[in-house]
Structure formats: structure tokens, C-alpha cells
Amino acid sequence: MANHMDNPATIKDIAKRLNISLSTVSRALRNAPDVSEETRQAVMSLSQELNYQPNRLALSLRQNQTHTIGVIIPNLDYVLSQMVRGIDEVALEAGYTVMVCQSNESFGREILNTQRLLESLADGFIISVSSETKSFEHFKKIQDRNLPVVVFDRITPHLSAPSVRLDNQAGGFMATEHLIEQGYKKIAVLAGPENLGISNSRLEGYKQALKKHKIKLDQDLILHCDFNQDYAYYATLELLSMKKKPDAIFTISDRMAIGAMLAIKKKGLQMPTDIGLVGFNNEPVTGLVTPAISSVEMPCFEIGKAAAKLFIETMHNKESATTIEKILHPKLIVRESSLKFSA
């Protein structure tokens, strides 16, 4: 049995015990061709006995790579958890370890995370940008070091890197068109922070749908508010107090949809009769509340997997174009909250 040593066995230990040189051991261990069967056997069996594990630190130092991917994300909510699972899945299989850092939607924290991960010598980065972030110097530093970066979900034009994302505009479009087809006339939209790409794309889809159906765009029906439930609640109360009150609301996240729902109930209005509601993300909760909320489904797990795959590819082929843009497609899940013409 392995004697109770604190310190893991090293190549040196094996070499000493076998009275051969370090290099021979190293070769035997890595199945190099030029080592006698006899020595190899001896090395192998002893290394098993000593429970030898190569020291990744030494390896990394030598080869100048850590087989670690730095993942920076704004939070660990439902959507991103799923995506991280996808990343994890692929990365693990490819022999990479993942370091996940949450920025908590904080710009400063994002910089700190980048810094730390850079210090830890991650081989590259998979990033979803915080909503607070408007400057991208910290990410540029990564690229200055010539490390591969993949951005996903919340991408940004300010960072030129291969990317994976949802077709957010299509999502916004299908949500809005669905409401139009259900006979809603005055459709408001709760958009997210103005500087956020996904927010604007979904909003763009909304506008596109109105245009297609020849509905005049009313700026008063577009509200930008923070990505969370409370803001959405108050924004909705505001909307519902307008003279020319909307008869439907599209929110660009489910958190916001929940906030809107609570406000609608507070006002004593009924969904889907008085007012229609469609959210975004298709979080499980949308199917559980009453009425169940229609939502745009996003293939989170797949997006995560795609991001990791793209990363690995970029890694193995450093010259690859930074213009690769992988776009996955949303799907509308219709539930009660928007089903005016129910079956």
C-alpha cells in the first residue's frame, strides 16, 4: 500500500528507487518509443505503486499552458447556470478545467476577475459581459496577451472575438408578433438597460414585428429599466397608469415578466383578457405561476456547449477568424398569459 507520505511522488523518487535517470522515467511514463520494454514495465509498476501523478504546475510552467479556461459571467441565475453546465460538459471532456468567476453585474468586479484569472494564467476566456460594463480595456488586456477569448450570450461589438448567442432579435420578433396575432393592439415593451446588446436586439425584434404589421411605434410604450423584478414591477405600474394604457406587455426577461405580472394583479387586471404578457428565457417559474406566462425559450445548455466548443476550436487553431458568430434559435412557448383566443 502507498506509504503515508504527505508529498506526492515525483519522477525523481521513481528514478532514485529504480536507479535510472530522470529522463528515462519521464520517457517511460509518456510512452516514448525509445525506451526498453523492461524499463517501461518497471517504471509503470512503481509509479502505480507510489500513486504517481504528474505535477500540473510544473507541467504548466514548462509548457506555458494550464489547461484551464477562465469563465467570467455576471451571475449564476437560471439561464447562466444552464450555460455554465454546458461549458463544463464540453470543457471537461476536452481535458480542460473551468474557473468560473461571477462579476455580480459589477464592472469593478469584472475587472478584478479578469485580473485574477489572468494571473492564474488561464489559457483563455469565455465571457458573458456584465450589464454595467461600458469600457472594455480589461478584456483587451487578455487579447494583448494573445489568449483566445470567446464571448457568449451577452456579447458586445466592442470586443472583437468569436461569439455564441441567441438570435435575440428573432426572439423579440416572435414574442411581439404572437401578441399581435392574438389581437393585442397597444403592445408595450419592458426593455433592459440601454447599453446592453441583448436588450436592444430584443427591442429591435419588437420594432420589426410592429413594422411588419403596420403598427405605429409609440415611444411611450418602450420602457428601459434594470433587469430585475422590482424595477419591472414599478415600471409596469407606471405603464398601467397611463391614459393610453397598453393592452399587452412584452418583457425581455422572465424576471421582469414576474414583476409585470405582480403589477398587473395589483391593478386588478386579468391576463390574458385585459392584458397580454410574454416573457423571455422560459424559466421554469413561468410555467408555474397563474396564469402561466408565455415565454421565449432559449437553448441555454446548448449555447454553453457551443461556446466551449468554439473556444476549443479557437484554441487549437489560433489563426482562426475572430469573426465567427454562432447563432442559436429561440422558440416561443405559448401559455395562458397571452392566449386571448384560447382553444
Partner DNA sequence: TTGTAGGCGTTATCAT
Partner DNA sequence: ATGATAACGCCTACAA
| Cell numbers for 183 | 389581437
Considering the complex, state which of residue 68 and residue 163 has its C-beta at the smaller distance from its own copies.
68
For residue 29, state whether it binds DNA (rule: CB under 7 A). yes
For residue 98, state whether it binds DNA (rule: CB under 7 A). no
On whether the CB atoms of residues 28 and 64 are closer than 8 A, the answer is: no
Rounded Cα distance, 14 and 257, in Å: 63
| 46 to 75: interface string for DNA, x by CB under 7 A | ------xxxx-xxx-xxxx-----------
For residue 44, state whether it binds DNA (rule: CB under 7 A). no
For residue 26, state whether it binds its own copies (rule: CB under 8 A). no
- The candidate with the shortest Cα–Cα distance to 336, out of 225, 257, 263, 259, is 257
| Cell numbers for 103 | 462579476
Please choose, out of 80-88, 172-180, 216-224, 236-244, the segment that lies near its own copies by the rule CB under 8 A.
80-88
Rounded Cα distance, 98 and 69, in Å: 5
- The candidate with the shortest Cα–Cα distance to 199, out of 260, 250, 138, 136, is 250
On whether the CB atoms of residues 317 and 257 are closer than 8 A, the answer is: no
- The candidate with the shortest Cα–Cα distance to 293, out of 257, 259, 264, 329, is 257
| 202 to 241: interface string for its own copies, x by CB under 8 A | ----------------------------------------
For residue 27, state whether it binds DNA (rule: CB under 7 A). yes
| 120 to 139: interface string for its own copies, x by CB under 8 A | xx------------------
Please choose, out of 96-104, 128-136, 173-181, 214-222, the segment that lies near its own copies by the rule CB under 8 A.
96-104
Q: Cell 459571467, residue?
A: 73
Residue 69: which H helix or E strand, with range?
A: strand 68-73
Applying CB under 8 A, the residues found at the interface with its own copies are 4, 6, 8, 53-58, 60-61, 66, 68, 76-77, 81, 84-85, 88, 92, 97-102, 104, 112, 116-121, 144-146, 258, 284-285, 288-290
